[in-house]
Chains A and B, each alone.
Chain A
Amino acid sequence: MNKETKFIIGRVYFTVFGLIVLGIGIIEILLGLTGRSFEYGIIEISGEFLLWRGVILFSAGAFYLSGVKNFSDIRQYAKIVMASVMVWIIAGMQIFGMILESIPGGEEGGWFNTLEGFLATYSPPYIPSLFLLPFSLVVFYYIKLIEEPRGEDKNKRGNSSVNRG
């Protein structure tokens, strides 16, 4: 597959992904404003800062959609990178919170959680950002692809030791 085809696939991919992120953002904003929550199967849209998470996802979706134009230009692509970073912040903090929550025992329990309690913390439902996380990782592949041809004339970082003259 040549590079052009890969870029076209990337554009389609991020357009679709961006639309999904944007949509979830809108739903979260609406639920956040009305103070309601939503649960279906393994997805739940609820929890603290729902409105803010909605705003962040909505913006991330918008970044994806505006970044797919002139996709291979690094300045455009940076928007897609930052959109992914925003998704990672939400998902990452969710995972971080889950890990910290799983370790200590409950209010009446012992110092540490029981094994069941520990595992129960990680069971679904999850917030949408956790599902978005793996799909946003594709961003790394295209960073590599876009930076590749320009990498040649650049000094490799490892050689930048200090030599006089």
Chain B
Amino acid sequence: MKLAIDERWNLIDKIAKQVVKYGTYRSTLKDAIEEITVKPLTGIPIAIAVLYGFWAFFGAFAGFFTDGFFVKFFDNHWLPWLQGVFPGKGGWLYYILVGDPTASNCFEAFGALTSGLFVAIGVVLPAIIAFYLFLTILEDSGYLPRLAVLIDTVLHKIGLHGFAIVPMILSLGCNVPAVAATRALETKKQRFMMAVLLAIFIPCGAQLGIMLEIIPQYVGFVMIYLFAGFFIFGFILNKLIPGKSPEILLDVPPYQMPIGRNVRGKLWIRVKGFFTVAIPFVLLGVIIVNIMYLTGFLGWLANVLEPVLCGWFGVPKETVGPLIAAFLRKDLAVAQLSTINMTIYQLVTSVILVSLYFPCVATFAMLIREGKEEGWRGVLQYLFGSLATLTAVVFLWGGLIHLVWIILGVV
């Protein structure tokens, strides 16, 4: 026998009346804090303070390991040692694995075992740990959903509801799980929009870490530029794509003290994911780019693309190497950019280009997988939809920054 919906609720009422008793309930400090953290007037300043804490923590933690220890280890010990003992100096294998024999630091050498390991372990790993540690604490304490409520109004403008903030924040760690998390959104339109916007505009934790290392004073600017792009293109996509973006009532969980065991467990899952996915890809990326360089393909491609790169974006043609590396890993690409001789404005432009122009392979594969959830038509829609958005974004948003520099008169 099945009950009608009304009957079911009536039955629940009856049961609840018999078994539940509500005691006198006075609001506690916890309730009061729950209230003021979601009210915009008080909530926004608190959110600013929390985000400030996030950045300060991230910077201090990553700086401690990277600048304090890893740079010293890799530049003063690992690199000279490897340059000394690796056989066949000047040979192609040496070039691929150790890189430039005259290099004095691991950014410049660009071998798989030098720059590759340095970027993956020395720079990105501490950043990833710092990021996930803070994120996990924010998650488990219950603050994150409140941030979602606060940002809800803004997201509504681009047809997404507040919970889209969860994939967004996850995305700052790694785009791959973030794309998977879009599944919790209600309509196909929302899922597609969010997945594509995330993959294009939000830099992942690995990229953030390396950006902090290379252009610390411009990271804020790059982030704001990317987020602005996120909202502007979100607004456009919302108008262009047919379909509905219904409201959703979201349920805010209570504040809780994060439990140590839980935080450790989650941190471990995420860092392990980094080790198994990121490190092989970084090494592979270095090897592929080096092979392309040795065979002369990279030089040829640089000349072919020169009009676009120099003319439209105003960056040197050598950036084609990092752009290839960015297919595999964005962090690697940014590290590689730092070794190219160019002005700081060109560097900022090329960092933005690297972020925008193609999601890394892992993210792109995830996008297609999400498309598959909707059948073969979904695959095609995700594939061509994301590529079309991508092309538009790269040329418009990437070109715009060049225009900004021209107007400011710095190029």
Direct contact between A and B judged by beta carbons closer than 8 A: yes
* Contacting residues, chain A, for B50 (C-beta < 8 A): 89
Q: Given contacts A86-B46, A100-B64, A111-B69, is CB(A79)–CB(B36) below 8 Å?
A: yes
Q: Chain A's interface: helix, strand, loop or mixed, by majority?
A: helix
Choose among B49, B57, B61, B63 the residue that contacts A86 (Cβ–Cβ < 8 A). Answer: B49
Bound form: Cα–Cα A96–B26 in Å: 37
Asked if B55 is an interface residue, CB under 8 A from chain A, the answer is yes
Q: Using an 8 Å CB-CB cutoff, how does the interface string of A49-65 with B read, 1 for contact, 0 for none? A: 10011011001101100
In the complex where A103-B64, A153-B24 touch, is A56 in contact with B48 (Cβ < 8 A)? Answer: yes
Query: A74 to chain B: which residues have CB within 8 Å?
Result: 27-29, 32
A82 touching B64, Cβ below 8 Å? no
Contact of B61 among A63, A75, A81, A100 (CB under 8 A): A100
Distance, CA A119 to CA B380, complexed state (A): 62
Report the bound CA distance from A100 to B27 in whole Å.
40
With A89-B50, A90-B52, A103-B68: A77-B32 Cβ-Cβ less than 8 Å? yes
For the complex, is B35 an interface residue (Cβ under 8 Å from A)?
yes
A81 close to B29 (CB less than 8 A): yes
Contact partners of A39 in chain B: CB under 8 A: none
Whether the Cβ atoms of B68 and A100 lie closer than 8 Å is yes
Say yes or no for B53: interface residue by CB 8 A criterion: yes
CA distance A89 to B28 in the complex (A): 23
B228: CB under 8 A from chain A?
no
Q: Which residues of B contact A48 (CB under 8 A)?
A: 56, 59
What is the distance, in angstroms, from A23's C-beta to the closest C-beta of chain B?
17
Whether B48 contacts A100 by the Cβ 8 Å rule is no
Task: From A53, A81, A90, A96, give the contact of B60 (CB < 8 A).
Answer: A96
In the complex the two chains form, is B29's CB within 8 Å of A143's CB?
A: yes
Question: Quick check: is A78 within 8 A (CB to CB) of the other chain?
Answer: yes
By a CB distance below 8 angstroms, the chain B residues around A146 are 29
Q: How many residues of B are in contact with the other chain, CB < 8 A?
A: 30
Q: Which of A67-116 contact B (CB under 8 A)?
A: 74-75, 77-79, 81-82, 85-86, 89-90, 92-94, 96-97, 100-101, 103-104, 107, 111
Minimum CB–CB distance for A69 against chain B, Å: 14
Of A93, A143, A150, the contact of B26 (CB 8 Å cutoff): A150
B33 within 8 Å of A (CB atoms): yes
Q: Taking the nearest CB of chain B, how far is it from the CB of A81, in angstroms?
A: 7
Q: What CA separation (Å) do A53 and B55 show in the bound complex? A: 12
Decide: B45 and A77 in contact? CB cutoff 8 A: no
Whether A147 is near chain B, meaning CB under 8 Å from some CB there, is yes
Q: Convert A107-151 into 0s and 1s, putting 1 for each residue whose CB lies closer than 8 angstroms to a CB of B.
A: 100010000000000000000000000000000000100110010
Q: Which residue of chain B is the closest to A92 with respect to CB atoms?
A: B53
Interfacial chain B residues near A75, Cβ < 8 Å = 27, 32, 35
Chain A residues whose CB sits within 8 angstroms of the CB of B26 once the complex forms = 150
Tell me the complex Cα distance, A104–B69, Å.
Answer: 7
List chain A residues, Cβ under 8 A from B37: 82
Contact of B55 among A49, A63, A96, A101 (CB under 8 A): A49
Find chain A residues with CB under 8 A from B28 CB.
74, 147, 150
Contact residues in B for A89 (Cβ distance below 8 Å): 49-50, 52-53
- Chain A positions within 8 Å of B244 at CB level: none
- Interchain CB contact under 8 A, A96 and B32: no
CB-CB under 8 A from B49, the residues of chain A are 56, 59-60, 85-86, 89-90
Question: Taking the nearest CB of chain B, how far is it from the CB of A56, in angstroms?
Answer: 5
B42 in contact (CB, < 8 A) = yes
Smallest CB separation, A130 vs chain B (Å): 14
> When the two chains form their complex, are residues B32 and A78 in contact, meaning their CB atoms are under 8 A apart?
yes
Can you offer 26 A-B residue contacts whose CB atoms are under 8 A?
Answer: A49-B52, A53-B52, A55-B48, A56-B45, A56-B48, A56-B49, A59-B48, A60-B45, A60-B49, A74-B28, A75-B27, A77-B29, A77-B32, A78-B29, A82-B42, A82-B46, A86-B45, A90-B53, A92-B53, A93-B57, A93-B60, A97-B56, A100-B68, A103-B64, A104-B67, A104-B72
Which A residues fall within an 8 A CB radius of B? Answer: 48-49, 52-53, 55-56, 59-60, 62-63, 74-75, 77-79, 81-82, 85-86, 89-90, 92-94, 96-97, 100-101, 103-104, 107, 111, 143, 146-147, 150, 153
